[in-house]
């Protein structure tokens, strides 16, 4: 794609500063940007390097001189994200319109007129799919699933029976929605499977990452709230309720029956034990594991996770343990010396 | 589904206490249960809330009065699990009988008469599948795999060549059985792949969770014993042997060549280093990593994992490190004061 | 497969020591080997058990007497790996030559003459695939992907649009290449998705494990260098650059924009925080999480990861915390005793 910078300025509704005839052929991060690229700067440290940029144009805030044409905005990152939308490849190329001849669609499924279904995808009986939803290749949507409008299901994702997805939901490749919750009952000869007859509800604008799993509820629902984003290889257990606008980074897990409020952030490789509540705005630091409820707005870290300032203090003490042990040894030595019956202590 | 409570009492073989004409339309956990629902109570804390239940009926043990009709049993949870089986949606709806026209079945595969194969599934040469096994959509079963009776393979699961599954095995969506073990040999120019020519054996009643992986052995077998349950996103390395009736929670991994006895429990996000032995009944606490053998019946925790009472004591000491450091500092101050030559110490 | 030991000696170019007419029907590790098996020994501890071996032949170094015929080499493990290649089942059996009738191949895709494509696989427009590449069942290769020669894509793997794979790349089942990076921008009403318009490049001889994910870059490339091996259930974030001949064990994650040098080793369940650099030959111990740059050749451990000798020392001190606390208490007691005004201290 090629656009003049002036055209981009119009489409992004940004102030143009410099030569609008520069042709922008691509977008790149600041360090990688070369001729033809539009980049952006919002990191003060990078501002100093502006004179050396090889980019053809830059998005940045007012008040900084640059040797190349610029688009001005108070939020360069947001404007760059919008520019990425303009330069994104045409979705029709890889999520082709229409229903592919090799897709298997049950006659009782109800698809809006413009739904796209890729090769080899399977849509079961009683499924309902809203307008503008695109389904890539080899997706499976089992019986009685309801999908809203303008969803995007990437290749290889699976939605098991009766789950409900809102509008504009995105499933990355291999995501699994509605697998059985991990529930067993101890019987006389081993574990007896507890049937998991509930469902999963993904509200509007939820995104689930590649190969992540959201288990169906034993009864009732496992629910992920509006706008919550789940990264790759995450696990959400049965009967969990996640609020709105949460973010969960890769390789993290939420055990069964937990409740997360709105705006909760879980960093990478974190975990939450079962039946816990994380309040609105709670944050879980990377690699941490939560073993008790977290109040609204608190950031926790470590395992077991504690308030993050305490966690940092504990880590600092931990890393000084050899010194602490040496100091104790020295105290013992000095005290021992004192205790010694009145021999000559001249060495001290 | 609608059943009178008296009908349920008959089918579950439970004593009915109260009005058997109440119509039960669904099942729900105690907190979520409303009109039409049957629920259960086995938690003494919940018994106090029985008077406020909105459920239409409750399963519980003898000796507790309730304001609604009840089914009585010494094990309410087991009875509720049985009731879930009654209310579970008809599997014929989402695991449809017969072989779908779009499935690819090699002519040399041997399927029992009533095997169900969903849309787009692929069954390779020499595969053998026992009676009553159901295969959902887009499952791949590669050459020479043997599957027992009454298995259930959910959509998108993959079994690679020559692996053997017993009876009543369940694979959740995206589970991978028989991927290559992670084995390389250092060569003059990088790592050389060691061919993994062994197989995986899943014994009867094994369940493997969504997107979990069990690697094939280098030679011989990776084996999972009768009735062992593996949660989502777990990894079992090559040549591992897991005993009977073990349970492994999400995001856990067992490294190559480990041996687990019977009844071993691994909580979420746990790991076991390679070539270790975990004895019968060993338990690994959440988020723990095992670096040495664990004897029969021992519960371990932490990283490196130690006996759990010691682990808890260590955590308690860890969390008091700032206080310990302060006490050492105070000891140093006091000793310093003493050591000082006889100046005026009136400030003390 | 049956081969005389003398034939194996020829094909492996090893010195034969003993009866070459012994028939070798299989390969097995030392402990499992029985009649008909060839095994190997390179562990000095196992040499003592050689007299008890039930194997029909053994690969080992010179200078050790054995009761069975032997193949001699300075590197028994490498020779055994080569023998595994000889006994590996014929790939034509499970990765069948030719293009299966049920595969969906876009007319604009360009496949070398001998490319194998299994049942139900989907190859999008503009895809290019090199000679000798084998694609199993139900693989999806989306628009404009480039694949080199002699790759092997196992069933259920997915490559999203425009990614590029070199020669001899292996994807285990369920691997996902080119899923969207986890990038969002805080907006007035929740997180706004940042389009991820970059790609993934896997260089020659890269292997990606079952259900592992490599995210596409926001702009530019996520790149995995020649010969790097990634185990199952690993996550590689957007814009990461991994060098050559690295190894990453199961359930590990690399956050966005990290740079790994050549020969980096990440053990199981490890993590690297975003924007970090790990130098050539850096090693990350099992279960560790890296929160700052690691210089060339350094081995780190723990969380936050520190140089491994320090990490081991810290663990040792941690495990002695109860004793340290007891010593501090004893010091306090003794000092308290001293401080006491001159009462009778006869009890001591």
If asked whether residues B144 and B258 sit together in one domain, one would say yes
How open is the CA angle C165-C170-C174, to the nearest 5 degrees? 100
- Calculate the average pLDDT of chain B: 95
Predicted confidence (pLDDT) at residue A345 exceeds the cutoff of 50 = no
* Angle, helix B308-319 to helix A308-319, in steps of 10 degrees: 100
- Put simply, the answer to whether A232 touches C235 (Cβ < 8 Å) is yes
- Region C217-242: what's the mean pLDDT? 98
If asked whether residues C72 and C107 sit together in one domain, one would say no
pLDDT > 70: percent of chain A: 97
- Put simply, the answer to whether C190 touches A245 (Cβ < 8 Å) is yes
- Put simply, the answer to whether B190 touches C227 (Cβ < 8 Å) is yes
CA distance A223 to A216: 9
The tokens for C122 are 């989907």
Q: Band of the pLDDT at B346, cuts 50, 70, 90?
A: very low
Tell whether C36 is within 8 A of chain B (Cβ). Answer: no
Closest residue in B to C287 (Cα–Cα): B289
**Digit-coded pLDDT (tens) for C248-302:** 999 999 999 999 999 999 999 999 999 999 999 999 999 999 999 999 999 999 9
Least Cα separation, residue A71 to chain C (angstroms): 19
CB B215 within 8 A of CB B182: yes
pLDDT at site C272: 98
Q: Which of C324, C250, B319 is nearest to A303 (CA)?
A: B319
Least Cα separation, residue C187 to chain B (angstroms): 32
Q: Which of A180, A163, A194 is nearest to B84 (CA)?
A: A194
Tell whether B192 is within 8 A of chain C (Cβ). Answer: yes
The tokens for A152 are 């995007």
Is the bond preceding residue C37 a cis peptide, omega within 30 degrees? no
Tell whether C314 is within 8 A of chain A (Cβ). Answer: yes
If asked whether residues A193 and A109 sit together in one domain, one would say yes
ipTM of the complex: 0.95
Tell whether C138 is within 8 A of chain B (Cβ). Answer: yes
Tell whether B320 is within 8 A of chain C (Cβ). Answer: yes
- Region C149-156: what's the mean pLDDT? 98
Predicted confidence (pLDDT) at residue C28 exceeds the cutoff of 90 = yes
Q: Band of the pLDDT at A14, cuts 50, 70, 90?
A: very high
φ and ψ at C291, to 5 degrees?
Answer: -120, 0
Predicted confidence (pLDDT) at residue C342 exceeds the cutoff of 60 = no
CB C154 within 8 A of CB C134: no
User: Which of A269, A303, A329 best tests the C interface by mutation, with the highest count of C CBs <10 A?
Assistant: A269
* Angle, helix C308-319 to helix B308-319, in steps of 10 degrees: 100
CA distance A275 to A237: 10
Tell me if C318 is assigned to some domain. Answer: no
If asked whether residues A45 and A161 sit together in one domain, one would say no
- Those of residues 141-180 in B touching chain A at CB distance below 8 A are 154-156, 170, 172-174
Q: Which of A163, A183, A174, A171 is nearest to A134 (CA)?
A: A171
CA distance A22 to A11: 15
- The distance from CA B317 to its chain's CA centroid, rounded to whole angstroms, is 32
Tell me if C240 is assigned to some domain. Answer: yes
pLDDT at site C341: 61
If asked whether residues A124 and A40 sit together in one domain, one would say no
Tell me if C119 is assigned to some domain. Answer: yes
Tell whether C223 is within 8 A of chain A (Cβ). Answer: no
Structurally, how many domains does chain B consist of? 2
H/E segment holding residue B104? strand B104-105
- Put simply, the answer to whether A286 touches C271 (Cβ < 8 Å) is yes
**Digit-coded pLDDT (tens) for A81-137:** 999 999 998 889 989 999 999 999 999 999 999 999 999 999 999 999 999 999 999
Q: Which of C199, C226, C218, C207 is nearest to C145 (CA)?
A: C199
CATH number for B209: 2.160.10.10
In angstroms, the Cα distances linking B137 to B302, C65, C94 are 41, 56, 20
pLDDT at site C332: 94
Taking CB atoms and an 8 Å cutoff, what residues of chain B touch C338?
A: 338
Tell whether A292 is within 8 A of chain B (Cβ). Answer: no
Q: Is C32 left (phi over 0), alpha (psi -120 to 50) or beta?
A: alpha
pLDDT at site A341: 61
- Region A154-171: what's the mean pLDDT? 98
Q: Band of the pLDDT at A190, cuts 50, 70, 90?
A: confident
Least Cα separation, residue A225 to chain C (angstroms): 11
For the stretch B128-136, contacts whose Cβ atoms lie closer than 8 Å and that sit 24 or more positions apart, written own/partner, are B130/B167, B134/B91, B134/B95, B135/B95, B136/A140, B136/A142, B136/B94, B136/B95, B136/B173
Q: Out of B285-294, C61-70, C133-142, which region has the weakest mean confidence (pLDDT)?
A: C61-70
Containing domain of residue C207, as a range?
103-257
If asked whether residues A249 and A275 sit together in one domain, one would say yes
CA distance A212 to A232: 5
If asked whether residues C202 and C130 sit together in one domain, one would say yes
Residues C238, C275, C317, C343: which is the catalytic one? C238
φ and ψ at C56, to 5 degrees?
Answer: -85, -20
Tell whether B317 is within 8 A of chain A (Cβ). Answer: no
CA distance B62 to B41: 11
pLDDT at site C336: 86
pLDDT at site B25: 96
Q: Which of A88, A106, A121 is the last residue of a domain?
A: A88
Closest residue in A to C185 (Cα–Cα): A78
CA distance C155 to B113: 26
Residues B238, B275, B317, B343: which is the catalytic one? B238
If asked whether residues B205 and B247 sit together in one domain, one would say yes
- Those of residues 39-68 in A touching chain B at CB distance below 8 A are none
CB A57 within 8 A of CB A69: yes
In angstroms, the Cα distances linking A186 to A192, C31, C70 are 6, 35, 51
Taking CB atoms and an 8 Å cutoff, what residues of chain A touch B88?
A: 195, 197
CA distance C126 to C124: 7
Q: Which chains touch C (3 or more CB pairs under 8 A)?
A: A, B
Which of C207, C226, C328 is closest, CB to CB, to B328?
A: C328
- Put simply, the answer to whether A124 touches B268 (Cβ < 8 Å) is no
Tell me if B317 is assigned to some domain. Answer: no
The greatest distance separating any two alpha carbons of chain B, rounded to the nearest whole angstrom, comes to: 102
If asked whether residues C121 and C209 sit together in one domain, one would say yes
Contacts of B311 (CB under 8 A, 6+ apart): B285, B288, B300, B301, B302, B305
Q: Which of C230, C257, C284 is the last residue of a domain?
A: C257
CA distance C234 to C171: 13
Tell me if C313 is assigned to some domain. Answer: no
- The distance from CA C308 to its chain's CA centroid, rounded to whole angstroms, is 21
If asked whether residues B157 and B83 sit together in one domain, one would say no
CA distance A72 to A13: 10
Taking CB atoms and an 8 Å cutoff, what residues of chain B touch A197?
A: 27, 84, 87-89
Closest residue in C to A37 (Cα–Cα): C219
CB A178 within 8 A of CB A216: yes
Q: Which of A171, A156, A174 is nearest to A202 (CA)?
A: A171
CA distance A274 to A262: 18
CATH number for A68: 3.40.1390.10
Tell me if C344 is assigned to some domain. Answer: no
CB A169 within 8 A of CB A205: yes
pLDDT at site A63: 85
**Digit-coded pLDDT (tens) for A254-276:** 999 999 999 999 999 999 999 99
**Digit-coded pLDDT (tens) for B61-88:** 998 888 999 999 999 999 999 999 999 9
Judged by DSSP in three states, B272 sits in strand
- Those of residues 242-261 in B touching chain C at CB distance below 8 A are 251, 253, 255
If asked whether residues C81 and C54 sit together in one domain, one would say yes
- Paired with C147 in beta bridges are C129, C165
Buried b (16+ CB within 10 A) or exposed e, C210-245: bbbbbbbbbbbbbbbbbbbbbbbbbbbbbbbbbbbb
pLDDT at site B348: 38
**Digit-coded pLDDT (tens) for A279-322:** 999 999 999 999 999 999 999 999 999 999 999 999 999 999 99
Which of A219, A253, A318 is closest, CB to CB, to B250?
A: A253
Closest residue in B to C320 (Cα–Cα): B314
Predicted confidence (pLDDT) at residue B343 exceeds the cutoff of 60 = no
Taking CB atoms and an 8 Å cutoff, what residues of chain B touch A122?
A: 102, 118-120, 137-138, 155
Q: Band of the pLDDT at C184, cuts 50, 70, 90?
A: very high
Tell me if B302 is assigned to some domain. Answer: yes
pLDDT at site B206: 98
Asked about C238 being catalytic, the answer comes back as yes
Q: Band of the pLDDT at C65, cuts 50, 70, 90?
A: confident
- Calculate the average pLDDT of chain A: 95
- Put simply, the answer to whether C211 touches A226 (Cβ < 8 Å) is no
Which of B87, B211, B229 is closest, CB to CB, to A211?
A: B211
Least Cα separation, residue C304 to chain B (angstroms): 13
In angstroms, the Cα distances linking A179 to A35, A163, A234, A286, B205 are 48, 10, 13, 26, 17
Judged by DSSP in three states, C93 sits in helix
Judged by DSSP in three states, C55 sits in coil
pLDDT > 90: percent of chain C: 87
**Digit-coded pLDDT (tens) for A165-186:** 999 999 999 999 999 999 999 8
Q: What are the start-end ranges of the E strands in C32-109?
A: 37-40, 57-60, 70-72, 104-105
Q: Which chains touch A (3 or more CB pairs under 8 A)?
A: B, C
Q: Which of B35, B54, B88 is the last residue of a domain?
A: B88
- Put simply, the answer to whether A32 touches C273 (Cβ < 8 Å) is no
Predicted confidence (pLDDT) at residue B130 exceeds the cutoff of 50 = yes
For the stretch C100-105, contacts whose Cβ atoms lie closer than 8 Å and that sit 24 or more positions apart, written own/partner, are C100/B104, C100/C137, C102/A102, C102/B102, C102/B104, C102/B122, C104/A100, C104/A102, C104/A119, C104/A120, C104/A137
Tell whether A222 is within 8 A of chain B (Cβ). Answer: no
Q: Is A293 left (phi over 0), alpha (psi -120 to 50) or beta?
A: beta
If asked whether residues A140 and A256 sit together in one domain, one would say yes
Tell me if B63 is assigned to some domain. Answer: yes
The tokens for A194 are 């507890």
**Digit-coded pLDDT (tens) for A210-226:** 999 999 999 999 999 99
pLDDT > 70: percent of chain B: 97
Q: Which chains touch B (3 or more CB pairs under 8 A)?
A: A, C
CA distance A233 to C151: 25
């Amino acid at each position: 794609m090629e656009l003049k910078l002036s055209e981009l300025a119009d489409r992004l509704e940004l102030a143009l500063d410099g030569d609008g005839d520069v042709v922008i052929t691509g977008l790149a991060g600041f360090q990688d940007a070369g001729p033809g690229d539009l980049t952006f700067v919002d990191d003060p440290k990078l501002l100093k390097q502006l004179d050396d940029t090889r980019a053809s144009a830059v998005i940045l805030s007012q008040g900084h001189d640059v040797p190349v044409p610029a688009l001005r905005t108070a939020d360069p990152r947001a404007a760059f994200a919008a520019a990425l939308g303009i330069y994104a490849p045409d979705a029709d190329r890889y999520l082709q319109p229409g229903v592919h001849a090799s897709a298997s669609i049950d006659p009782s499924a109800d698809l809006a007129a413009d739904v796209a279904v890729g090769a080899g995808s399977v849509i079961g009986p009683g499924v309902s799919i809203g307008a503008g939803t695109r389904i890539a290749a080899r997706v499976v949507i089992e019986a009685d699933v309801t999908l809203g409008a303008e969803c995007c299901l990437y290749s290889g994702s699976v939605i098991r029976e009766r789950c409900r997805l809102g509008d504009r939901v995105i499933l990355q490749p291999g995501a699994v929605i509605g697998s059985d919750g991990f529930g067993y009952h101890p019987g006389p000869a081993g574990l007896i499977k507890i049937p998991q007859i509930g469902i999963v509800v993904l509200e509007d604008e939820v995104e689930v990452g590649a190969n992540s799993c959201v288990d169906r509820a034993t009864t009732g629902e496992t629910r992920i709230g509006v706008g919550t984003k789940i990264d790759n290889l995450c696990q959400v257990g049965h009967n969990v309720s996640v609020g709105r606008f949460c973010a969960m980074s890769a390789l993290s897990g939420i055990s069964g029956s937990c409740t997360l409020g709105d705006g909760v952030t879980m960093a990478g490789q974190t975990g939450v034990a079962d039946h816990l509540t994380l309040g609105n705005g709670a944050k879980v630091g990377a690699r941490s594991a939560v073993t008790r409820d977290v109040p609204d707005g608190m950031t926790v870290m470590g395992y077991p996770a504690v308030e993050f300032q305490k966690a940092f203090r504990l880590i600092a003490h931990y890393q000084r343990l050899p010194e602490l042990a040496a100091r104790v040894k020295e105290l013992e030595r000095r005290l021992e010396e004192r205790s010694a019956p009145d021999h000559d202590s001249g060495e001290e």
